[in-house]
């Protein structure tokens, strides 16, 4: 087996994936071993900000290792772009942080804006309003 490296692959299906890969050349039919492959799509928001949308390559699978034969690959290139690798590693290391509800909804947390209950917010706003009236 060869060394591991970050690689962008273009498959015959048209998909472009980024993965940490290793090539197994031990037999007559070499195989590419993919670890945590992802699809990264660059996009532009309506406000003109550039962002990258990252999804798992196999969204319904719990596995993180996949095997591909060379005949399914059009081209592949090693990437050493640090920002791309940082985004990839951040996604892989933090993808299990959020607890998803059905239909892709995310549970609220203090990080995502849920900082108080409605009752507490109403009480604080009423107190603030009363203090302003006294001035």
φ, ψ dihedrals at 6, nearest 5°: -80, 135
Residues 51 and 115 in one domain: no
Residues 55 and 28 in one domain: yes
Is 125 domain-assigned? yes
Residues 14 and 61 in one domain: yes
| Tokens 């037999």, located at residue | 27
φ, ψ dihedrals at 125, nearest 5°: -70, -40
- CATH number of the domain within which 65 lies: 2.30.30.100
Is 26 domain-assigned? yes
In the three-class reduction of DSSP (H, G, I as helix; E, B as strand; rest coil), residue 4 is classed as: coil
The whole-angstrom distance between residue 53's C-alpha and the CA centroid of its chain comes to 7
Name the DSSP letter for residue 109: -
CB 12 within 8 A of CB 70: no
pTM over 0.85: no
Structural domains of the chain, count:
2
pLDDT digits (tens, 9 = 90+) for 39-87: 988 888 788 777 778 888 998 888 899 999 999 999 999 988 888 888 8
Q: What residue numbers bound the domain in which 113 lies?
A: 108-135
């Amino acid at each position: 087996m060869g060394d591991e490296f970050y690689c962008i692959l273009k498959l015959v299906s048209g998909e472009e994936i980024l993965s940490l890969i290793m090539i197994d050349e031990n037999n007559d039919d070499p195989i590419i071993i993919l670890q945590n492959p992802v699809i990264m799509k660059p996009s532009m928001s309506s406000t003109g900000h550039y962002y990258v949308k990252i999804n798992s390559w196999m969204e319904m699978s719990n596995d993180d290792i996949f095997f591909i034969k060379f005949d399914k690959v059009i081209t592949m290139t090693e990437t050493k772009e640090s920002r791309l690798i940082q985004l990839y590693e951040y996604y892989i290391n933090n993808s299990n942080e959020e607890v998803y509800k059905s239909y892709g909804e995310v549970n609220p947390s203090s990080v995502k804006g849920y900082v108080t209950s409605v009752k507490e917010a109403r009480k604080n706003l009423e107190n603030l309003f009363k203090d302003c009236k006294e001035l």
